[in-house]
Each structure stands twice: as structure tokens, then as C-alpha cells.
Chains A and B, each alone.
Chain A
């Protein structure tokens, strides 16, 4: 899911592109060192007010996501490294990557004691996809056959023909086309099952959901704008068994307040060190911090509809701009070294990541080559002397203004042109501008994966006509490679093809990858066993009190 620094901090909508989060890979080695702790104590963690009722297909931001992922479990879940492990799934079988037979474990129940059957999944997915239920995550079901019918405007249908219940423990899924990474998606929030009781009063259910995850909501546990209290669900038998007596999320309106609370041991875990403390959190929390990459990156989109950035001229100019940026210098000076320069379009925590893709040298700083490429482009079509290369960005997210100004200065100096930040007051407003496709220059972008897969970094962003393809990039060769990758019969085979697709991107540079995001988290003296997962969220169930 995409989100901006502000919205995460404020609990507002989930949103684009992190402003300031960083990287580095060094950790405070605190995670998982001390073994046995007090497993009966409740731990506290930071969060933001869930934006919507707690329904799987309507939760698309971190505040609700943290809670949902603990009180529900899907067919699979992701471990700390992002590898999938079976939760409720007994097996997920396919021969052609298009027709899946899913068997679920028998004897599993929701926290209220009702049995979990195949029907709970099928009904929940149908509910999430149907237009009449206006669920924000409905597009997650778009690969399933019949989605186009239930999602059409004004449609009253609510059953996708691709979903069929075979018996209590088996159902089949038919996709509209082969997609090899479909099983990887099944751990995402949108794919959780719902108990029968959910549909009688969906709104009331969203306030007090009954789930099947390692935790359950305390009765009246969601105190709006204040806290969300969870206790272990003793009916849960999956791999994420709770090692503490519960998790209470304290809802903060700013990470600064949360930071002081961890400093004074009033809060146990904070997964977002505020920008103001990035310089000193490693000393404030010696041995109690983590600084590791997660599945997100920052990029700069150069829209395909800009006349100067098309064809061969465009490729040269894009490469020139990319090589004119000294990523490491910006990371050191502005982010205090807390990020890592990007060498591809995905993230190092994703299975299949390749740091040495052919053509990736275009993402390395090389002022001389940049200048040469720019001059070569000018031979095809001269760059107007007074034209300014603008980079549009919202400046309500901390750090945006600083790094983009620095980047613009580097581009200006190394290419000998004018370049500047085009500041937009709010995220909302910048989104409007980008969606209108009327930019006259580049724009800030970024992506945080919904599920750990290379495809999730490529398809939704660069596929022709894809939902988040801000720059209107379109290349049939790239589309074909993606399709080939999706049709692959194994994830490994698919990854190889996706990386070949990336090689095409490295030539075309629809966006200029900048750096990989990293999570900076800290914890109090009262807990141990803190680990952060592939998506930058702590594994709350592994944390124990001292």
C-alpha cells in the first residue's frame, strides 16, 4: 500500500510515497536475543486511528492494517523475511497458474467458536469485490474471473463466477488469465475470511470484528482516537502464536509524541522514528533499535507524455538525469545515511531481487557520462535554453522539500540546465495534479508493496494502463515479459522473467529509482524479542515483556 509520511502520522488515508524513511541494514542487534520473557504481560505499540471499520476489504492503510493482520489470518501469512507460510491453507494447487484448488485445514474456528469453511472465504471475497459494498480494496480481486461483472457501476451482482465452493474444506479459484504470483497475494488483508455473522450488520461488525488471527479484539477494545486493545485468541493454531498477554495499540497523532513515550518507557514498540530524531535515535536507544530495509522504494516519475522525454532523445535524457543524481550524497547529508541507493525498481527484501541487473549502471552517479548523454540528446533536439526541469512534490511530508531541492541542484549543476522543486502544499493536491496527467515535469513517487512479490513492484506501476501508472508508461515488450512472468508455473521461473522485464525498464526509465526505504524502529526497556518484518511492521506476536 502506498502512503505518505504525513498520512501515516496523522492516521489519514493511506497514501503515496514515503518521504523520509531510510535504510542501512545495520541493526541494533536487539531482536530476538533474549529468549524467555513474561508471556502474560500486555505490550503496547504505536499506531494511528484505523481509517475505516475493520473489514478485510476496506482496510487499505497502516493504522487499520496493523490491527487486521493480528486479529485475522488468511490462507497464508508472511514470515519476517516475506516468505509465505501456510496459515489456514492445507494446500494451494495449480497446474496452469490460472485454475487454483485451495484446501483449507479442517477444525479451525473463528474466535467466537464458529467453524471456518471454504464458504467463509468465498463469501468474504465476493463481498469485497462487489461494487454495491463499496470496499476500498475491491480492485484486489480483479484477477478473479467474473470481477468485471460484480464491480461494474450499478451492478447488483455479488457472486464472481471464478469462485466455487467444492466442499466444506475446498474451493476453487479461476482467474481471468494466468497469474503465477496469485498465491503470494493471499496473505494480504483483503483476502481474509469473514464469519457468517459479519453480514447481518456490516457496520457494527467493523467496530467489533470477530476474527481468526493470533489475537482478538477486547470487547469495546477499539476506543476511537485513543487505543485498540487486543488479547491472544486461544482458538488460534497457526504459526503466529502470541508470545505475550496481548497488544494494546496507542493511537498517536504524531510520531514525535510516541518517540518521547518510548524514551520514558511508556510505550513498548515504535515502528516509526520521527524525522526530528533520525540523527540521534541510535544513541538514544543503544541496543534497542532496528534500521533495516523494507519492501518500499522512492522514485521520480518522468511522465511519458512529456515531448522532450520520448523516443531515443527521451531515453538519453532520462539516463542523463539518473546519472546526474548522487544518491549516496543525498542519503548521507539529508537522511543521515538511513537509506540505500536503489539499483533496481523493486526492493532488496523481496524474493528474487537482483542487485546486478544488466543495465543497472544507469542508476549510478556518473557526472561525465550524464553530461555526455544530455549533449547527445540535445543533438537530436535541443533543450530550450530557458526551460526549467521541474520536480513536483507535496511538501507536507517531512524531508521531501529538502531532498528534492538537493536533487534538483545536482541535476542543474551536472547537466548545466535549470532545475527546481515545484512545491505543492498537500499530498491530496499533488495527487490531483499527478492524476490529471498535466504535469510539465517530473514528480516524486514511491511504492510500498502490498505483498512480497517482484510483480507487485512492476505490474501496477508500469503495465500499460495500470492503476498506479502515473507517468502513462507503455511498452509492449515490457507488457509481454510481465505476462510471460505471470504465466510461469513457478515463482522462481516468474522472478527470472520479471527481472528481464526490469532490464527493459532500465533502458526506458519511466521512473528514476532513487533509494530503498528502511524502517527505523525502537523499543523500550520493558520488552525483548522485537523483530521487524519484510513490510517494516514489527512482528508483535513475537514480542515478550521482561
Chain B
């Protein structure tokens, strides 16, 4: 298993370089001159313009720019934003907020998703099952920004139960509403996945055996059915964690959360390659690690799966 983990980390290297190169190129190829945008369409003294261009290596051809970026990266220098701040500092500010939001959303969708999914799966065709199915269908069908704006207006403005936006330090309690919005769609998927999976496993041979052995209903459900049903759910949650950590541009925008999604959006608008590449690089690592954890969890959930 150590070998397996090690190999997976080795895979990280080509993935990381491939992704950063690609993203760097995409930002480079985006039409529009970032320095012209910086001046806001106003005249800029030619000397100032040239100096700024040189400062961000924008006067160099693509390969030189990317090479210089990699050179800095080796020394853990992520470069600077157009406003002269260190990209590492900017990310360090935004990341904890996004991580907090992602963990809350993930906890919410995992706990309630699995709970509702199991109940619905065990009582297939009954009232609870049908209600959950319809509700989850509605949630999946409605775009996140609609959910976001509606909840913000109703809970935040009309009822006044929560602040409609998140204040600067983004404390846990203010993140509840955005986390709900963020987790709601995935919640619906988790419910459906769990429900189907539980439903299938209920008729499996080992479940019949376990029941025949005289095990309690509770033990059959929790140990035999649930554990085996979790594999697809965990796969989904792992991938979801990756995308949640990537910052939810829409949700963070609606609730003014100073997270990584907002940061990325602004950086793309400005054509600030240093920031975009750094954020995407981190996201790549998060994705790979999350998937690795998921793979390792398989072995724990299903003893038949082993990694050598």
C-alpha cells in the first residue's frame, strides 16, 4: 500500500506540470492586453507602460515567460499580482475561507445525504422515498445561483435570520447559508446514489446470509449494507471535495465570500497568469490527493480490494 501511495504521488509530477503549462498557455492566449486594462483605457506614459511590461515579463515570448515562472516556482516564489502583492500571501488569505466552506458543505451533504439515502433505500417506494426523490429532483433541476439568490433574499433579507453576505473574517456561523447552497445540489446526488446502492445491496447474497445468521437488523444495515453501499458515494464525495476546494465561483460571488473562487475569477478577468496558475496548481494537487484518499478508502470499505 505504501508503494501504491508512492506511485500515485509520482504521477502527481507530470500532471502538475502538464496542468500548469496548459493553464499558463490559456491565460497567455486570452485576447486582450492586461497592461492596457490596468490603465483603464486611459493614456499611460510609454515609459511606465514599458516598465510594467518588463516587471511582469509580459514583453517576453511564451516559453521564456513560462520558464521564468517555473524558475521562481522552484524557489517557492509564486510571483506577484498586478497590485504588487505576493501571490502566496493572497492565496494564504483566501484558502482557509474556501476550505472552511468546503468542509461545511461536504459534511452537510455527506451526513444528510447518506442518512436520507439509506432511509429512502430501505423503504423503497414508500412515502419518505418518493418525497426525497421528488425534492432531490427539484434541487438538481434548479441552478445554484437561483437557489443562492432566493435563499439569500428569503433568509437574509426578508426573514433576517442570517446575514445575507459573509463578513470579512468569514466565521463558521455566517458560512452556514452559503455552505447549504453549495452542498444542496451534491446532497441530492448523494441521496440518490446511496438510495440506489442500498437498494441493490439489500438483495445481495451476503445480506441474506447475514440475516440468516440471525444478526440484528441494525447490524445488517450498518455493517453489511451501508458499508458496501458507500463505495460509489465515497467516489462521488471525493471528486466533489476537489471541486468544492476549487472554490465555488457562483456561490462565493453571491454571498461575497472572500475565497479562492472569487480570487480566481478576478485573476482571470485581469489576465494575471501568476495567480491563475498558482491557484490551479494547488487545485490539481488537491484533486489528486482527494482521489488518492478515495482509493485508499475503497480498501477499507471493501476488504476484497487490495493495493500492492
Q: Which chain B residues (133-189) contact chain A, with CB distance < 8 Å?
A: 149, 152-153, 156-157, 160, 163-165, 167-169
Given contacts A6-B269, A225-B262, A226-B168, contact A257 B254 (CB under 8 A): yes
Given contacts A15-B37, A253-B256, A263-B164, contact A429 B32 (CB under 8 A): yes
A129 to B199, CA, bound (A): 74
Binds B, one of A149-157, A231-239, A315-323: A149-157
Q: With both chains docked as a complex, state the minimum distance between the C-beta of A157 and any C-beta of chain B, in angstroms.
A: 11
B253 & A253 in contact (Cβ 8 Å cutoff):
yes
A431 to B160, CA, bound (A): 43
Q: Which chain A residues (434-492) contact chain B, with CB distance < 8 Å?
A: 435, 460, 466-468
A432 to B38, CA, bound (A): 12
Residue of A nearest to B162 (CB): A264
B165 & A266 in contact (Cβ 8 Å cutoff):
yes
A225 & B94 in contact (Cβ 8 Å cutoff):
yes
B265 proximity list for chain A (CB < 8 A): 10, 253
B44 & A52 in contact (Cβ 8 Å cutoff):
no
- Which residue from A7, A14, A17, A154 sits with its C-beta under 8 Å from B47? A154
A261 & B83 in contact (Cβ 8 Å cutoff):
no
A467 to B46, CA, bound (A): 11
A519 to B153, CA, bound (A): 24
Given contacts A134-B48, A264-B163, contact A13 B39 (CB under 8 A): yes
Residue of B nearest to A52 (CB): B83
A12 & B37 in contact (Cβ 8 Å cutoff):
yes
Q: With both chains docked as a complex, state the minimum distance between the C-beta of A270 and any C-beta of chain B, in angstroms.
A: 12
- Which residue from B37, B45, B157 sits with its C-beta under 8 Å from A431? B37
Q: With both chains docked as a complex, state the minimum distance between the C-beta of B193 and any C-beta of chain A, in angstroms.
A: 33
A467 & B43 in contact (Cβ 8 Å cutoff):
yes
B34 proximity list for chain A (CB < 8 A): 428
A226 to B44, CA, bound (A): 29
Given contacts A51-B83, A53-B84, A224-B90, contact A2 B44 (CB under 8 A): no
B40 & A61 in contact (Cβ 8 Å cutoff):
yes
Main SS class of interface, A: loop
B39 proximity list for chain A (CB < 8 A): 13-14, 60, 136
A51 to B42, CA, bound (A): 15
Q: With both chains docked as a complex, state the minimum distance between the C-beta of A457 and any C-beta of chain B, in angstroms.
A: 14
B93 & A152 in contact (Cβ 8 Å cutoff):
no
A224 & B93 in contact (Cβ 8 Å cutoff):
yes
B52 proximity list for chain A (CB < 8 A): 134
B266 proximity list for chain A (CB < 8 A): 10-12, 253
A225 & B258 in contact (Cβ 8 Å cutoff):
yes
Q: Is A135 on the interface with B (CB-CB < 8 A)? A: yes
Interface centre among A7, A12, A435 (most CB of B within 10 A): A12
Contact digits for B8-28, partner A, Cβ 8 Å, 1 yes 0 no:
000000000000000000000
B165 & A7 in contact (Cβ 8 Å cutoff):
no
A421 proximity list for chain B (CB < 8 A): none
A460 to B152, CA, bound (A): 44
B47 & A155 in contact (Cβ 8 Å cutoff):
yes
A34 proximity list for chain B (CB < 8 A): none
Q: Is A203 on the interface with B (CB-CB < 8 A)? A: yes
A428 & B36 in contact (Cβ 8 Å cutoff):
yes
A51 proximity list for chain B (CB < 8 A): 38, 82-83
B36 & A12 in contact (Cβ 8 Å cutoff):
no
Q: Is A80 on the interface with B (CB-CB < 8 A)? A: no
Q: Is B59 on the interface with A (CB-CB < 8 A)? A: no
Q: With both chains docked as a complex, state the minimum distance between the C-beta of A162 and any C-beta of chain B, in angstroms.
A: 16
Q: Is A3 on the interface with B (CB-CB < 8 A)? A: yes
Q: Is B31 on the interface with A (CB-CB < 8 A)? A: yes
B165 & A257 in contact (Cβ 8 Å cutoff):
yes
Q: Is B68 on the interface with A (CB-CB < 8 A)? A: no
A435 & B254 in contact (Cβ 8 Å cutoff):
no
Contact digits for A239-259, partner B, Cβ 8 Å, 1 yes 0 no:
000000000001111101110
B41 & A431 in contact (Cβ 8 Å cutoff):
yes
B164 & A257 in contact (Cβ 8 Å cutoff):
yes
- Which residue from A225, A260, A435 sits with its C-beta under 8 Å from B165? A260
B45 proximity list for chain A (CB < 8 A): 131, 138-139, 142, 151
A227 & B253 in contact (Cβ 8 Å cutoff):
no
Given contacts A260-B156, A428-B271, contact A136 B44 (CB under 8 A): yes
Q: With both chains docked as a complex, state the minimum distance between the C-beta of A289 and any C-beta of chain B, in angstroms.
A: 16
Q: Which chain B residues (197-249) contact chain A, with CB distance < 8 Å?
A: none
Q: With both chains docked as a complex, state the minimum distance between the C-beta of A147 and any C-beta of chain B, in angstroms.
A: 9
A40 proximity list for chain B (CB < 8 A): none
B192 proximity list for chain A (CB < 8 A): none
A132 to B40, CA, bound (A): 21
B41 & A16 in contact (Cβ 8 Å cutoff):
yes
Can you report 20 A-B residue pairs in the complex whose CB atoms are below 8 A from each other? A1-B40, A1-B42, A10-B265, A10-B269, A13-B40, A14-B42, A131-B51, A132-B51, A134-B51, A138-B48, A139-B45, A153-B46, A223-B168, A254-B253, A258-B165, A260-B152, A261-B256, A263-B164, A266-B165, A467-B43
A-binding residues in B (CB < 8 A): 31-34, 36-48, 50-52, 55, 82-85, 90, 93-94, 149, 152-153, 156-157, 160, 163-165, 167-169, 252-256, 258, 262-263, 265-266, 269-271
| 3 nearest A-B pairs in the assembled complex, by CB-CB distance | A467-B43, A428-B32, A14-B40
For the A-B complex with A49-B83, A426-B269, A431-B33 known, give 4 more contacts whose Cβ atoms are closer than 8 Å: A14-B39, A131-B47, A429-B32, A432-B32
B-binding residues in A (CB < 8 A): 1-3, 6-7, 10-17, 49-53, 60-61, 131-132, 134-136, 138-139, 142, 151-155, 203, 206, 223-227, 250-254, 256-258, 260-261, 263-264, 266, 425-429, 431-432, 435, 460, 466-468
